[in-house]
Amino acid sequence: MTNETYLPHVHPALADVALINAQECAAAAGIKQTLWRKLVREGAAPPPVIVGNRKTLWRLRDVHSFLTIWPQQSDNATGRAVVMKRAAKAVAARKCKQGE
């Protein structure tokens, strides 16, 4: 996955009403679904919109807003840990490619 945040392509006119599932939310954040669900339970991530008996979806607008501020939140230890882990992984991969 690249450094760019993955979000499903949605026409701009529909972005405010589009709904995405946990898998897409986690992919957009670059984390696993279990961590996404943990962030939701802790109240750090936006609350879901429950549709039907067994389907949980989030508003694309809410997820996008969350992802723009999540790494910068000073009180979000989980977010900082994930960002630091990803950064360390990127540094290690770069060193490996350079033969260090």
Higher pLDDT, 30 or 83: 30
Which band of pLDDT confidence, cut at 50, 70 and 90, is reported for residue 8?
low
Question: Is 91 a member of any domain?
Answer: yes
Please tell me the total count of domains within the chain. 1
Question: Is 82 a member of any domain?
Answer: yes
Name beta bridge partners: 50.
Answer: 56
Q: Is the Cα torsion angle 46, 71, 81, 93 positive or negative in sign? A: positive
- Overall average pLDDT of the 22-40 stretch: 90
Whichever domain contains 25, its CATH number is 1.10.1660
The answer to whether residue 14 scores a pLDDT higher than 90 is: no
Domain hosting 78: range is: 12-98
Question: Is 7 a member of any domain?
Answer: no
Question: Is 2 a member of any domain?
Answer: no
Higher pLDDT, 61 or 9: 61
Question: Is 4 a member of any domain?
Answer: no
Question: Is 6 a member of any domain?
Answer: no
Q: Is the pTM of this model over 0.85?
A: no
Question: Is 86 a member of any domain?
Answer: yes
